[in-house]
């Protein structure tokens, strides 16, 4: 396969060509909206647009699959003197009619055959499938790379969909602001609980000390107010004498 025999895909009726690799549905084709952005890979019939390709690349594009399970919905690669068509079409053969008529477009997806899908992606994007998110001009081809959930920027402003910023310095793993706030709140609550527990323990100890002092004072007055027998006056001795 020479490097000059690339398909050169385009969307003659508008939209952009998408490959929603690793989405819930691995949609491929022209769409007026971004079907890859939400990770679902869904392009409704109203947003679906026909896809075209360079006519000299007919033999380089492997067959892919149609999302519809209908028996009369098939994948076509058509080329004639007027136009080319690539994708799925209902009912009529676009290679005979010269085009897939409006309303008969059907969404397509990457093949379940590993070799066919990898060859298709490599041919369309002119890159290996193991690379990260890639966009290719001039066909406004957009794809999501391995593990990615949204398409990347156009060529000239290409960025990786998996790139992200971290806090805490280069090469380190930083905490998100919300996580830091959560840790601070938990630490504050723990400190308040600890102080409350210590205050409660101190109050309990002071209460027990006062109770012991109160009981000790009453016991002393009970026995100290009773005079000893040898200090009683004469009346008291006489009273005790009569008691015997």
The structural domains of the chain, with segments of one domain joined by +, span: 16-143, 185-215
Q: How many Cβ atoms from other residues are within 10 Å of residue 110's Cβ? A: 23
Query: Which has more pLDDT, 81 or 120?
Result: 120
- pTM score over 0.75: no
pLDDT tops 70 at residue 116: yes
- Are the beta carbons of 159 and 152 closer than 8 angstroms? yes
- Are the beta carbons of 95 and 76 closer than 8 angstroms? yes
Q: Considering Cα of 128, then 133, then 138, then 140, what sign does the dihedral take? A: positive
* DSSP summary character for residue 153: P
Query: Which has more pLDDT, 7 or 125?
Result: 125
Q: What's the CA gap between 83 and 243, in Å, rounded?
A: 140
Average pLDDT over residues 236-243: 44
Instruction: Supply the pLDDT for residue 212.
Output: 58
Q: Considering Cα of 58, then 64, then 67, then 68, what sign does the dihedral take? A: positive
Q: What is the pLDDT of residues 184-220, one digit of tens each?
A: 666 778 888 888 888 887 777 776 666 555 555 444 4
Instruction: Supply the pLDDT for residue 101.
Output: 85
Per the structure block, which two tokens stand in for 218?
Answer: 């009453």
**53 pLDDT tier (thresholds 50, 70, 90):** confident
Instruction: Supply the pLDDT for residue 60.
Output: 77
Average pLDDT over residues 93-120: 90
Average pLDDT over residues 224-239: 46
Instruction: Supply the pLDDT for residue 20.
Output: 96
Q: Mean pLDDT check: name the lowest of 56-65, 130-139, 177-186.
A: 130-139
Average pLDDT over residues 55-78: 85
């Amino acid at each position: 396969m020479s490097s000059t025999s690339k398909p050169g895909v385009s969307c003659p009726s508008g939209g952009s060509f998408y490959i929603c690799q690793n989405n819930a549905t691995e949609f491929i084709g022209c769409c007026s909206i971004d079907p890859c952005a939400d990770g679902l890979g869904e392009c409704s019939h109203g947003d679906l647009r026909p896809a075209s390709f360079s006519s000299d690349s007919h033999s380089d594009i492997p067959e892919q699959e149609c999302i519809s399970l209908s028996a009369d919905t098939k994948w076509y690669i058509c080329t004639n003197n007027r136009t080319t068509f690539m994708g799925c079409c209902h009912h009529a053969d676009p290679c005979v009619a010269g085009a897939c008529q409006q309303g008969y477009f059907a969404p397509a997806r990457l093949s379940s055959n590993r070799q066919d899908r990898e060859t298709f992606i490599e041919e369309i994007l002119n890159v290996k499938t193991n690379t990260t998110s890639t966009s290719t001009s001039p066909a406004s081809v957009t794809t999501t790379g391995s593990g990615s959930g949204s398409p990347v920027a156009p060529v000239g402003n290409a960025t990786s969909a998996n790139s992200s910023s971290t806090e805490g310095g280069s090469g380190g793993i930083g905490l998100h602001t919300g996580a830091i706030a959560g840790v601070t709140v938990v630490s504050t609550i723990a400190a308040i609980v600890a102080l409350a527990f210590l205050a409660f323990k101190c109050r309990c100890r002071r209460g027990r000390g006062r109770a012991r002092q109160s009981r000790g004072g009453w016991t002393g007055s009970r026995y100290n107010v009773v005079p000893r027998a040898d200090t009683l006056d004469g009346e008291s001795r006489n009273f005790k004498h009569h008691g015997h």
